[in-house]
Structure 1
Amino acid sequence: MTTAMEDPALSLQESWRNWLFGQALPLWSTAGFDTHRGLYHERLDWQARPVVLPALRLMVQARQISTYCRAALDGVHDAGQQALDCLDTVLRLYHRADGQPGWVFSIGQDDRPADSRRDLYAHAFILFAYGWAIRYADRPQDRQMARQIAEDIEAIFAAPNGGYLDAVPDNGTRRSQNPHMHLLEAYLVVFESTGDAFYLDKARALVTLARTHLIDRRSGLLLEFFAPDWMPFASHGANQVQAGHLFEWSWLLRDFARLAQSSGDEAEWLGATASRLHEAGFTHGCDHERRVVLDSMSDTLSVLEHSARIWAQTELLRLLHMAPHKEALTQDATAYGRAFLRQFAPARLNGGWIDHVDAQGYPLVDYMPASSLYHIYGAGREIASR
């Protein structure tokens, strides 16, 4: 059968609809779901067979749950009940599984904790999953658990000088922007799902953290890593910047402005910063000949890695196709949207993807990670809704 990737006569919207709604979502709710355990597989091989791993991470389960709740809400794939059932299984297996507050990082094949660390990134995503479950089904217990997760995050991870620890136990050497970014994303989703200003206040605190610490005043760029006192982790010119995260923050700052109904100085800063991060990432963090977002650059805009991960492509695509620009689709939006399908979603994978490629475009992995679907769907719903 001819696929979207093989038929250049199809519009970009049609190509993405055929691939994402017709192939990728069905693949990961069938071959990608373990009906015996009631959990999602973390990886499939190129033939869509599960890759057995010693442990399953909370983060991956949460990402899949959120994606299928969103897809059900959008009316493009009916696996919402599967996602809710999985959420209930995850609650049983990961929450306080070692008798301590919070959620364990991963469970083994025996469904017992494999890694009992408390990880901020994972907690952000389980909160995100509950946010989408609330919007999809609005079960009272999900509203209660979302609030419990938020309170646990404060109790477990809050740092004395602002922001949060990456994990507990904490090694005391480094902080990262990435879990803070996803926590902001989670709070915005739960706020929009519940209307509870408690979550918007939490989101505003994270935006303030970005304004005061995460975005470097010298370069104007969002840095990846920091010392425990929130100073840049390395000397100027040696700090890592990821264009994909510049795009994610650009999106989230705009989303915060929308939900908070920002005005005045706040609105001006949000808009200017979102635009600056987008422009910096697109100008300096992409290979426009290959039409890919590169893995990383420095805070002096020198490319550090010419390899490319799938998630960064989707964050650029989401921005290029964002709703306010739908009537004026740019040449870049179309070109990068088609390049994605060609380079990262070849027809032979039947809805699967290549997660990471080198500077020549060759795969750096031999499996498909489930965790990419969350990013892909975020972009795909923008593209396919045109």
Structure 2
Amino acid sequence: MTKQADKARDWVVNCAAPLWFKYGIDWKQGGFYDALDLDSCTNIASRKRLRTATRQIYVFSEASRMGFHEGKAAVEHGLEFLYRRARNGSGGYLSHFDLNCEPLSKDQDTYDLAFVLFSLAQAYQLLRREQEREEALLVLRYLNTELRHPIIGFLEGSPHRGPRRQNPHMHLLEACLAWIPFDETRGFRRVADELVSIFHQHFLNVTSGAICEFFDESLEGRSRVPEVVEPGHLLEWIWLLTQYWQATGNPQPYIAQIYRFAHAFGKNPQTGLLFGELDSQGNALGSMVRLWPHTEWVRAEVSVLDGGQSKDMMQLEQATTALWRFLNAAPVSGLWLERHDGLRNQFLSEPAPATSLYHIVGAFSALAAAPHDRATAPFLKTI
């Protein structure tokens, strides 16, 4: 795994981080650009998003920890955008802006607020400023007081629109896990415990290992939207449940079932890549797949190997090979092609979206971490 780790670290520190630092940051108006042209590396988006800013704060925090020395300046730039442009008077954060960083609406998105918390944790870990911890506690209070669903879990945002999704809850768990080591109030631990309980009771089919995406208002039944299972999210939950296990000491059942479902149905044997969407029975719902599920495949396989009871590297090799195909297909190192059409077995030539860099860096960070820094998950005997 050392060779893969060195290759991953080199791509982040010497290719992606310098490119996005130079071309992906709007140093004049503030914030980060949403997408770059594959050839000229210029911005092609007509808006800016809170989601992009928060994810780029993570990217440059992690890149800095890997050795990219300019990363701190990018993180500080991102925090300035959050505090000066995106924060609103109610305690939340706005989601959409024009290129001058003027808000396009007053809507707030719980998914985006989860990434505000996550980015603040990454920035705090890098900069050790109390401002970020205090801000995170304010955002957590806002979520707990203003965005609680009257039945269970959290609203989709303000205004709330159905169907309800597992996805915002999953990223809230990710954010809480990032804060647990630094939170003396235990507020993030309480929410993390709640979210894992909701996952087991409502999102997961404990018999099959499938995790559906959409639900009704009570989370008791599926929404009227057709059932959708995303292999990328199956693999992402494996990583997060393993991280939760490590952080709390609470063993997590059903990881093996999720892993088996993902491998039995989630891989496209014709392409060597994943499927983008399945139904709850494991049937593919289309031929198109994006880059990000393959980053979660890498992280899931790292979790499995770090359980210490398997030395079979084949699945990790398949996952990293699949991810590198998206990166190597781009004409400029540090960019990538975002989508692959499995029917034609070819990549689509489209601008590189900035938000995908969060996924790539997350996968490469997992690869590059020393074994003693990784989660230990002794569930492998059941896989």
Name the TM-score, length of structure 2 as normaliser.
0.89
Q: Which residue of 1 aligns with 2:340?
A: 357
Structure 1 contact 178–224 (Cα < 8 Å) conserved: yes
How much has 1:361 moved relative to structure 2?
3.4
Report whether the alignment pairs 1:335 with 2:318: yes
Alignment-mate amino acid for residue 179 of structure 2:
V
Q: Which residue of 2 aligns with 1:150?
A: 140
User: Aligned partners of 1:143, 1:36: CA distance in 2, in Å?
Assistant: 27
Structure 1 contact 187–200 (Cα < 8 Å) conserved: yes
Alignment-mate amino acid for residue 228 of structure 1:
E
Report whether the alignment pairs 1:239 with 2:220: no
Residues 303, 347 of structure 1: alpha-carbon distance in 2 compared, 3 angstrom cutoff: closer
How much has 1:157 moved relative to structure 2?
1.3
Structure 2 contact 58–119 (Cα < 8 Å) conserved: yes
Q: Which residue of 2 aligns with 1:106?
A: 96
How much has 1:166 moved relative to structure 2?
0.8
Q: Which residue of 2 aligns with 1:324?
A: 306
Structure 1 contact 174–233 (Cα < 8 Å) conserved: no
Q: Which residue of 1 aligns with 2:278?
A: 297
User: Aligned partners of 1:28, 1:361: CA distance in 2, in Å?
Assistant: 29
Q: Kindly provide the CA deviation profile for residues 128-167 of structure 1, in whole angstroms up to 9, marking residues without a partner as x.
A: 0001111111111111100000011122210111111112
- Secondary structure of 1:293's counterpart equals coil
Structure 2 contact 209–260 (Cα < 8 Å) conserved: no
Q: Kindly provide the CA deviation profile for residues 294-343 of structure 1, in whole angstroms up to 9, marking residues without a partner as x.
A: 10101111111222111100000112123616883512211331232134
User: Aligned partners of 1:295, 1:330: CA distance in 2, in Å?
Assistant: 24
Structure 1 residues 192-207: aligned runs within 5 Å: 192-207=181-196
Q: Which residue of 2 aligns with 1:286?
A: 267
Alignment-mate amino acid for residue 41 of structure 1:
Y
**Equivalent residue in structure 1 for 2:167, among 161, 178, 188:** 178
Residues 318, 159 of structure 1: alpha-carbon distance in 2 compared, 3 angstrom cutoff: same
**Equivalent residue in structure 1 for 2:12, among 20, 24, 28:** 20
The structure in which a higher percent of residues are strand is 1
How much has 1:219 moved relative to structure 2?
4.1
Q: What is the number of residues matched between the two proteins?
A: 366
How much has 1:91 moved relative to structure 2?
1.3
Alignment-mate amino acid for residue 228 of structure 2:
Q
User: Aligned partners of 1:385, 1:338: CA distance in 2, in Å?
Assistant: 19
- What CA RMSD, in Å, does the superposition of the two structures yield over aligned residues? 2.2
Q: Which residue of 1 aligns with 2:214?
A: 225
**Equivalent residue in structure 1 for 2:239, among 237, 251, 256:** 251
User: Aligned partners of 1:51, 1:361: CA distance in 2, in Å?
Assistant: 28
Q: Which runs of 5+ in 1 are unaligned?
A: 1-9
- Farther off after superposition, 275-284 or 244-253: 275-284
- Secondary structure of 1:363's counterpart equals strand
Q: Kindly provide the CA deviation profile for residues 168-202 of structure 1, in whole angstroms up to 9, marking residues without a partner as x.
A: 1123x410000100000001101123354221111
Report whether the alignment pairs 1:130 with 2:120: yes
Alignment-mate amino acid for residue 313 of structure 1:
H
How much has 1:363 moved relative to structure 2?
3.1
Alignment-mate amino acid for residue 359 of structure 2:
H
How much has 1:55 moved relative to structure 2?
2.2
Percent identical across equivalent pairs? 25
Q: Which runs of 5+ in 2 are unaligned?
A: 371-383
How much has 1:235 moved relative to structure 2?
7.4
Q: Which residue of 2 aligns with 1:367?
A: 351
**Equivalent residue in structure 1 for 2:35, among 36, 43, 46:** 43
How much has 1:77 moved relative to structure 2?
5.0
Structure 1 contact 12–338 (Cα < 8 Å) conserved: no
User: Aligned partners of 1:349, 1:256: CA distance in 2, in Å?
Assistant: 37
Name the TM-score, length of structure 1 as normaliser.
0.88
Alignment-mate amino acid for residue 213 of structure 2:
E
Residues 32, 110 of structure 1: alpha-carbon distance in 2 compared, 3 angstrom cutoff: closer
Structure 1 residues 57-76: aligned runs within 5 Å: 57-76=49-68
- Secondary structure of 1:104's counterpart equals coil
Q: Which runs of 4+ in 1 moved over 6 A?
A: none
- Farther off after superposition, 182-191 or 53-62: 53-62
User: Aligned partners of 1:203, 1:365: CA distance in 2, in Å?
Assistant: 39
User: Aligned partners of 1:282, 1:21: CA distance in 2, in Å?
Assistant: 31
